[in-house]
Structure formats: C-alpha cells, structure tokens
Amino acid sequence: MNNIANNISISRAIMSIMLAFTETYSIAFCIIYIYCGISDMLDGFIARRSKSESELGARLDSGSDSIFVIVAMIKILPTLNLTNGIILWIGFILFIKIVNAIYSYIHCKKIVLPHTIANKITGCVLFIAPFRIANTNPIIFEYIICCIATFAAVQEGQYLRTSSKADLKIN
C-alpha cells in the first residue's frame, strides 16, 4: 500500500487499540490520544493534496475514526461525573445520528457520514474535551459540547435530506 494517507489511517487504528491498554490521562495516553487526533486531520488533508482520495481511503479513515472514538469513550467516559441530563442528551444526539445513518442507507443504499463543518467543529471540541474538562467548570463545558453536537447532528440530517445522490458522491 503506497498511499501515505491510507497508512496514516491504518496507524491511527493501531494506535487507537494501543490507547485501550494505557492508563487514562497518563503521559502515554496523552501522546497516543494526540497522535490519533492529529493523524485524523492529516490523512484527509494529505489524500486531497496528493490527489490520492479513494473509496478504500474513505473507509479506512471512517473505520479508524470509529475505533478511536469507541476506545476514547470507553477510557474517558468512566472518569467523568456526567449528570443524568447530559447522559440523556448524549443519547438523544446518538439517536439523531443513527436516524441519519438509517435514512442515508435507505435512500442511498449505503451509510453516508457527511463531513460538514459543524461535524468537524464537534470533533475538534470533543477532541480537546478531556483536557478542558479538567481545567474548567465541567458542567458548562458539557452543555457547550452537547449544544454543538446537537446542531451538527441536526444539520447532518438536513444535509442528507436535501442533497442529491451526486452531492453525496453516490453512484
């Protein structure tokens, strides 16, 4: 595999698995966590710049993102003291995302995960969350994150419902 962007995505998947075996918030955890975040930004940028975008690359990126998010959630969520309201709100956001995925599958015959600006902002805010929550009032930061993520999920659904298959890059 000579594609640098794909290799970066694969390395993120491997590093995400390694993250699962580190102590949460340890130096090793932070280094791997930061590497995974930076590699997520780099792989797509490099693929676009080198004109090496591919269906395989998109799948590797999404798969690696999923592994990273799942591992990070398993490691970080137990360390947070989330209120029942925030937990319900997160469940509501996940429900919207699942409805969006089902809608895209029904109408496009595949799951489409749009990379909207709001989704990217949500990703950035969630990425820095473990570092910010320790230094701010966690409740306020959690509400800010949930507001941004709710907007992104609703915007994603609107985008899916109003875009043509060509806009969504569906054949």
The pLDDT of residue 171 is 40
Enumerate residues 6+ apart whose C-beta is below 8 A from 55: none
The pLDDT of residue 92 is 97
Domain end, chosen from 79, 112, 133, is at 79
Instruction: Judge if 140 and 87 occupy the same domain.
Output: yes
Domain end, chosen from 45, 79, 113, is at 79
The pLDDT of residue 9 is 94
Instruction: Judge if 30 and 111 occupy the same domain.
Output: no
**Residue 132: domain span:** 81-171
The pLDDT of residue 133 is 61
Over the chain (171 residues), the average pLDDT of each successive run of 10 is 84 97 94 94 89 87 90 88 91 95 89 85 87 70 92 94 70 40
The pLDDT of residue 22 is 97
Contact of 60 with 10, CB cutoff 8 Å: yes
Domain end, chosen from 79, 99, 130, is at 79
The pLDDT of residue 30 is 93
Instruction: Judge if 4 and 31 occupy the same domain.
Output: yes
Instruction: Judge if 2 and 20 occupy the same domain.
Output: yes
Residue 149 CB neighbour total at 10 angstroms: 24
Enumerate residues 6+ apart whose C-beta is below 8 A from 89: 146, 150
- Name the burial class of residue 93, with classes exposed (0-12), middle (13-18) and buried (19+) by CB atoms within 10 angstroms of its CB: buried
The pLDDT of residue 2 is 54
Instruction: Judge if 133 and 49 occupy the same domain.
Output: no
Instruction: Judge if 10 and 57 occupy the same domain.
Output: yes
Split into its structural domains, the chain has a count of 2
